[in-house]
Amino acid sequence: MVNQEQIAKFGIRPLKGILLTGPPGTGKTLLAKAAAHYTDSVFVAASGSEFVEMYVGVGASRIRELFKEARNKAVKAGKSGAVVFIDEIDVIGGKRDGGQHREYDQTLNQLLTEMDGIHTSDTPRILLIAATNRKEMLDNALLRPGRFDRHIGVDLPDKKGRQHILNIHARNKPLAEDVSLEQVAEETFGFSGAQLESVLNEAAIYAMRENEEAIRQHHLAMAIDKVMMGEKTDREATREERERVALHELGHAIVAELVRPGSVSQVALSPRGQALGYVRHNPQQDRYLYTREFLEGQIMIALGGAAAEEMFYGDRSTGSRGDFEQAMGIVRTMVESGLTEAGIVDSSMMTPDSWAKVTGTILDRLMERTKELLAGYRTVFLQSLDVLVHEETMDGNRFRELLAEHGESRSA
């Protein structure tokens, strides 16, 4: 325990439990280990699945053994405290509904009893830290103060946090002098700590494959694509398919540049994961609040591919499926935030018909706007198509040069 004298002076009851919640890969387990190290405590870890057994009473006995093991280890090591970490606690800590899962209930009851029995005067003192990404499933008796006193959200890192994480994982890797981890942090919005570690690891693999002495910026760019989209595939498409995919991706890219200038980092025609081509966007800054105008811009970027196909071919392909799913997800966010003509509504009260009507109205209106926006950029499509078909990738700066040239010719 840290600052024992001050804690005693103020009569503070030490924490019994800390619940860490957040998406996978954000470092909840690492935080628990760090807490044990900081408080000079023994660390004992278990997963919720270890307590689930077909035989009645086994889960409850394993809970007792876990706390007993923590106390014994602390005594042997001469420590004053122990940290017990239970990952995926929602497996055993789910809400009790009186149904068939009586074995789960017994395990949870035993955990509640053990947490009540963690007396502040006992030595060694035990702190329970648990992690879950489904807090809403946990039983209320587990969440109350006196059991889990602190609920800490471990969210995805912001740009500053991403840069710190990248710096930590880059310590044992040879980076070229011109490598900018700040640029990597900018390009990895929405990445978890585990994904950032994977980016540096994949970049090191690319550097090794190319017999380089150090990791270069283009290795990191390739690694970001790999983690985001998946491994490159060797699928061979016909020339017609390649041209359609190229025009589709250029539709996304042109709308993105018109709606949010400077946002396109790369346009690629190479198959990766399930995608036949992709546009990598470069977020200018992290955002956590979105206006209606911003979200409508995102929908237009998603619809740009299908709009481009209609411009050149008169119809769409199955390649727009993922784009439409993304667009409908944004519409759902707008409805739930009261940013549509429907006003402030309870989304759970909306019928499938009303959802279809709202979604259809918004997407049809924005699709027409997207087509009107792209209609004047046919020259840019054709010039960029020639580059993409021959080189497979086009840098964002080169793409912006073509757009600028088009703009100058129109104004001349």
| Domain containing residue 223: CATH number | 1.10.8.60
pLDDT band at residue 92 using 50, 70 and 90 as cut-offs: confident
Domain CATH code at residue 35:
3.40.50.300
Per-residue model confidence (pLDDT) at position 408: 64
Paired tokens of 117: 């029995």
| Same domain, residue pair 163 and 149 | no
User: Is 88 a member of any domain?
Assistant: yes
Cβ contacts of 221 within 8 Å, gap of 6 or more? 187, 266
> Do 366 and 331 meet the contact criterion of CB atoms below 8 Å apart?
no
CA torsion 339-345-349-351 (nearest 10°) is -50
Domain boundary among 153, 178, 206: 153
Lowest mean pLDDT among 87-91, 129-133, 158-162, 342-346: 342-346
Residue 141 one-letter amino acid: A
Per-residue model confidence (pLDDT) at position 176: 92
User: Is 170 a member of any domain?
Assistant: yes
Strand order in the sheet with 393-395: 278-281, 264-268, 393-395
| Same domain, residue pair 259 and 398 | yes
| Same domain, residue pair 252 and 392 | yes
| Same domain, residue pair 139 and 197 | no
Q: Angle CA(250)–CA(251)–CA(253) in degrees, nearest 5?
A: 60
Residue whose C-alpha is closest to residue 319's, from 402, 405, 252, 389: 252
| Same domain, residue pair 168 and 124 | no
Per-residue model confidence (pLDDT) at position 172: 93
Q: Reply yes or no on whether the pLDDT at 113 is more than 70.
A: yes
| Same domain, residue pair 383 and 267 | yes
CA distance 84 to 126: 7
Active site residue 202: no
Which 3 state secondary structure label does DSSP give 279? strand
User: Is 295 a member of any domain?
Assistant: yes
Residue whose C-alpha is closest to residue 222's, from 280, 277, 167, 262: 280
User: Is 377 a member of any domain?
Assistant: yes
Of the ranges 187-191, 280-284, 324-328, which is most confident?
324-328
Q: Reply yes or no on whether the pLDDT at 233 is more than 80.
A: no
Q: Is the pTM of this model over 0.95?
A: no
| Same domain, residue pair 248 and 220 | no
User: Is 124 a member of any domain?
Assistant: yes
Residue whose C-alpha is closest to residue 365's, from 319, 307, 294, 312: 307
CA distance 216 to 187: 15
Number of residues that make up the chain: 412
| Same domain, residue pair 149 and 185 | no
| Same domain, residue pair 199 and 292 | no
CA distance 19 to 310: 51
Which 3 state secondary structure label does DSSP give 187? helix
At 281, phi and psi to the nearest 5? -95, 150
Q: Angle CA(344)–CA(349)–CA(351) in degrees, nearest 5?
A: 110
> Do 370 and 309 meet the contact criterion of CB atoms below 8 Å apart?
no
User: Is 302 a member of any domain?
Assistant: yes
| Same domain, residue pair 10 and 125 | yes
| Same domain, residue pair 121 and 54 | yes
Beta bridge partners of 85: 45, 129
Domain CATH code at residue 284:
1.20.58.760
Q: Which domain holds residue 326?
A: 239-411
Q: Is the peptide bond before 124 cis (omega within 30 degrees of 0)?
A: yes
pLDDT in tens, 358-379: 999 999 999 999 999 999 899 9
CA distance 400 to 254: 9
pLDDT band at residue 341 using 50, 70 and 90 as cut-offs: confident
Q: How many domains is the chain partitioned into structurally?
A: 3
pLDDT in tens, 35-71: 888 888 899 988 887 777 655 567 888 888 888 899 8
Return the beta strands (E) in 106-248 as ranges. Answer: 125-132, 150-153
User: Is 234 a member of any domain?
Assistant: no
Domain boundary among 229, 261, 279: 229
Domain boundary among 153, 171, 196: 153
Per-residue model confidence (pLDDT) at position 94: 81
Q: Which of 249, 257, 296, 309 is catalytic?
A: 249
| Same domain, residue pair 212 and 173 | yes
pLDDT in tens, 206-228: 999 999 999 999 999 889 988 88
